[in-house]
């Protein structure tokens, strides 16, 4: 039986000791009352209980049972409706939503924390409220007052849910090819008639809520070709009445089928058909894609948390199994003489796999929560310059987090299967589900290859390196401040070396990419990984410094802080060297990829 224990102590360490979230956020007037460490802990502990006791017990059963489709109706697996009721009644759909619409108004950072735990406990479940949050953000940013009044309170209380309809059969990455059209509605007024087919729509149809609010990309009459001619529409499954209640069925909206798929079986992935459905424009005409992309940072950070969430639960189950399973004797001599063999956790290779999970999870958590906190600062800080700097950092780190955390979510899940040996491949033990569930996060919300292109093509050159400076400067400052501290040599020295190579790689890509964009494209994935590893090294160096300070002061749980130093050492010696290899791949350039003729493949 799989287990999940929310890593509360590790989360608190990052929130309070490393990021000092209260001191950064409670000075912002919007968070004056909601960013105290006590309140964060209270939310964290309540959220952890919900994830462990309500969502997690439905994870394996939801995977086995999946969603069922019949005549346009989708049934979620047993227990999901009750769990969703508890979830929404507890206010969890609106953790960081605007109090004006019924939200808790907590920092988005707390949402990031919740997303991690929800995705560990039950990623499929988490996608239902996750998609609603995307719809909430779109309407909150771009909706008219009337649209906000109609939809936001319902999305926040969770009685209505949301979806994002971008993909069509012939286009996923290249949304400029969208064909769904909006025409004047026969009823007149401000409604549009939406016609087209959308595929792979998560939570497009289900039985958890009384209404579903679809956000749909479509083209207005005479719209320019390509991405500059796409508009965003709100298309509800049931038309809202004047008093806000659910009205008549929006006749043109239907779910034609759901997909059979590799993982996230308990989340419905729908073919949505719009045949003259009633929809209303959200934001300006032809600016739909821009509106979608404005919310991308938050949405992509959400998907990054799926990677981390899965890696965390996979790691936990790997550890539990490795402590229990007895095979062979330790190479350094018997450890458990009263047992027929030693537990496999004594073996160096098993430790390598588990420590990779632990070092990734804790480093990635620090990086993601840092981005979550900067997202709050970028939106709510009173000082426009501070907001801009934070926005630049978030924009830079978003593709790195999305791609690296989801790539590693899959890898760590696969390592957990390996730790289990044959049992890992068997359903009953539960870990094979994590591999299957993790795989999609590398694909949706922009494939990881596209994230890498976003990093080298958009984020790197923007403002002549303005975004890069938001990361490079604090790293340089940290290195300068700590390079003479003997206790930090094991961390600052490798960080400085890897950071130097990252700067070199950046300069090389910028130079070569200007002459030949294929050079930037060819380097992109390796550069992103190199960047991610240096980012985690920075986080681990910071965490090691905090832990050393606690050890020196004798404050708190000393074993806990000693362990942090040891994991930091593992990261620097066993994971960071990959950045060197990635650097070499960046240097290899485009030729090895592009010289071969297509016919030769």
Ligand X SMILES: Cc1cc2nc3c(=O)[nH]c(=O)nc-3n(C[C@H](O)[C@H](O)[C@H](O)COP(=O)(O)OP(=O)(O)OC[C@H]3O[C@@H](n4cnc5c(N)ncnc54)[C@H](O)[C@@H]3O)c2cc1C
Catalytic residue (choose from 116, 205, 415, 445): 445
Instruction: List the x/- string, 119-158, binding to ligand X by CB under 6 A.
Output: ----------------------------------------
C-beta of 450 vs 488, nearer to ligand X = 450
C-beta of 200 vs 370, nearer to ligand X = 200
Q: Smallest distance from the beta carbon of 174 to ligand X, in angstroms? A: 6
For position 172 contacting ligand X by CB under 6 A, the verdict is yes
Q: Smallest distance from the beta carbon of 184 to ligand X, in angstroms? A: 25
Collapse the DSSP code of 437 into the 3-class scheme (helix H, G, I; strand E, B; otherwise coil) and give the result: helix
With DSSP H G I counted as helix, E B as strand and the rest as coil, what are the percentages for the chain, rounded to 5?
65, 15, 25
CA–CA separation, 571 and 356 (whole Å): 8
Binding-site residue total for ligand X (CB under 6 A)?
18
Q: Smallest distance from the beta carbon of 176 to ligand X, in angstroms? A: 11
C-beta of 298 vs 440, nearer to ligand X = 440
Site for ligand X in 431-470 (CB under 6 A): 440, 443-444, 447, 449-450, 453
Instruction: List the x/- string, 263-282, binding to ligand X by CB under 6 A.
Output: ------x-------------
CA–CA separation, 250 and 238 (whole Å): 5
Q: Shortest CA distance to 432 belongs to which of 587, 270, 318, 271? A: 318
H or E, element range at 546: helix 517-553
Q: Smallest distance from the beta carbon of 179 to ligand X, in angstroms? A: 14
Nearest 5 degrees, angle CA 434-CA 439-CA 444?
A: 130
Token readout for 343 is: 């537990």
3-state secondary structure 459-492: HCCHHHCHHHHHHHHHHHHHHHHHCCCHHHHHHH
Q: Smallest distance from the beta carbon of 304 to ligand X, in angstroms? A: 15
Provide DSSP, 366-410: HHHHHHHHHHHHHHH-S-HHHHHHHHHHHHHHHHHHHHHHHHHHH
C-beta of 412 vs 453, nearer to ligand X = 453
CA–CA separation, 87 and 159 (whole Å): 11
User: Would residue 445 show up in a list of annotated catalytic residues for this protein?
Assistant: yes
From 69, 142, 200, 315, residue interacting with ligand X (rule: CB under 6 A): 200
- Tell me whether strands 246-249 and 238-240 are parallel, antiparallel or unpaired: antiparallel
For residue 290, count CB atoms less than 10 angstroms from its CB and return exposed for 0-12, middle for 13-18, buried for 19 or more: middle
C-beta of 165 vs 378, nearer to ligand X = 165
C-beta of 107 vs 158, nearer to ligand X = 158
From 76, 165, 406, 451, residue interacting with ligand X (rule: CB under 6 A): 165
Q: Smallest distance from the beta carbon of 524 to ligand X, in angstroms? A: 8
C-beta of 341 vs 443, nearer to ligand X = 443
From 12, 81, 185, 261, residue interacting with ligand X (rule: CB under 6 A): 261
Q: Shortest CA distance to 235 belongs to which of 220, 221, 249, 256? A: 249
| Residue closest to ligand X (Cβ) | 172
Q: Which stretch binds ligand X (CB under 6 A): 167-175, 333-341, 507-515, 528-536?
A: 167-175
CA–CA separation, 550 and 561 (whole Å): 7
From 44, 201, 344, 576, residue interacting with ligand X (rule: CB under 6 A): 201
Contacting residues toward ligand X, per CB under 6 A: 164-167, 172-173, 200-202, 261, 269, 440, 443-444, 447, 449-450, 453
| Catalytic residue positions, numbered | 445
């Amino acid at each position: 039986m799989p287990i999940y224990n929310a890593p509360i102590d590790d989360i608190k360490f990052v929130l309070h000791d490393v990021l000092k979230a209260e001191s950064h956020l409670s000075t912002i007037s919007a968070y004056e009352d909601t960013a105290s460490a006590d309140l964060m802990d209270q939310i964290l502990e309540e959220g952890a209980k919900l994830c462990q006791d309500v969502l997690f017990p439905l994870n394996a059963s939801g995977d086995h049972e999946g969603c069922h489709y019949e005549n346009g109706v989708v049934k979620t697996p047993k227990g999901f409706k009750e769990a969703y009721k508890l979830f929404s009644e507890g206010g969890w759909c609106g953790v960081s939503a605007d109090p004006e619409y019924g939200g808790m108004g907590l920092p988005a950072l707390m949402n990031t924390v919740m997303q991690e735990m929800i995705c560990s406990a039950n990623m499929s479940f988490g996608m239902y409220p996750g998609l609603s949050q995307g719809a909430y953000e779109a309407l909150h940013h771009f909706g008219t007052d009337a649209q906000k009044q109609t939809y936001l309170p319902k999305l926040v209380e969770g009685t209505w849910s949301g979806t994002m309809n971008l993909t069509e059969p012939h286009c996923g990455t290249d949304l400029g090819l969208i064909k769904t059209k909006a025409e004047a509605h026969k009823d007149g007024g401000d409604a549009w008639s939406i016609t087209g087919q959308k595929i792979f729509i998560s939570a497009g149809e289900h039985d958890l809520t009384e209404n579903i609010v679809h956000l749909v990309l479509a083209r207005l009459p005479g719209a320019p070709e390509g991405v500059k001619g796409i508009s965003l529409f709100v298309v509800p499954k049931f038309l809202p009445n004047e008093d806000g209640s659910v009205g008549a069925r929006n006749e043109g909206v239907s779910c034609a089928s759901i997909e059979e798929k590799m993982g996230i079986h308990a989340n419905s992935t729908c073919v949505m058909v719009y045949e003259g459905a009633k929809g209303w424009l959200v934001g300006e005409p032809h600016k739909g894609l821009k509106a979608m992309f404005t919310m991308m940072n938050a949405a992509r950070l959400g998907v990054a948390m799926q990677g981390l969430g899965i890696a965390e639960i996979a790691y936990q189950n790997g550890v539990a199994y490795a402590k229990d399973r007895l095979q062979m004797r330790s190479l350094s001599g018997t450890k458990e003489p009263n047992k027929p063999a030693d537990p496999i956790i004594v073996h160096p290779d098993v430790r390598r796999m588990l420590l990779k999970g632990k070092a990734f999870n804790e480093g990635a958590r620090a990086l993601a929560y840092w981005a979550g906190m900067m997202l709050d600062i970028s939106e709510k800080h009173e000082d426009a310059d501070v907001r801009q700097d934070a926005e630049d950092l978030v924009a830079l780190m978003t593709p790195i987090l999305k791609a690296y955390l989801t790539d590693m979510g899959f890898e760590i899940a696969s390592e957990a299967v390996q730790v289990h040996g044959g049992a890992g491949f068997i359903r009953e033990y539960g870990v094979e589900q994590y591999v299957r569930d993790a795989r999609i996060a590398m694909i949706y919300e922009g494939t990881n290859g596209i994230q890498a292109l976003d990093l080298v093509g958009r984020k790197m050159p923007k403002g002549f390196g303005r975004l890069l400076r938001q990361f490079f400067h604090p790293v340089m400052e940290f290195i300068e401040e700590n390079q003479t501290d003997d206790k930090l040599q094991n961390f600052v020295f490798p960080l400085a070396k890897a950071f130097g190579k990252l700067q070199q790689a950046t300069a090389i890509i910028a130079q070569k990419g200007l002459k030949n964009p294929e050079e930037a494209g060819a380097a992109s994935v390796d550069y992103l990984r190199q960047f991610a590893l240096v980012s985690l090294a920075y986080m681990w160096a910071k965490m090691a410094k905090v832990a050393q300070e606690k050890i020196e002061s004798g404050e708190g749980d000393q074993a806990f802080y000693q362990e942090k130093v040891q994991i930091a050492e593992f990261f620097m010696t066993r994971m960071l060297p990959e950045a060197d290899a990635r650097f070499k791949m960046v240097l290899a350039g485009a030729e090895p990829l592009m010289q071969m003729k297509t016919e030769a493949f």
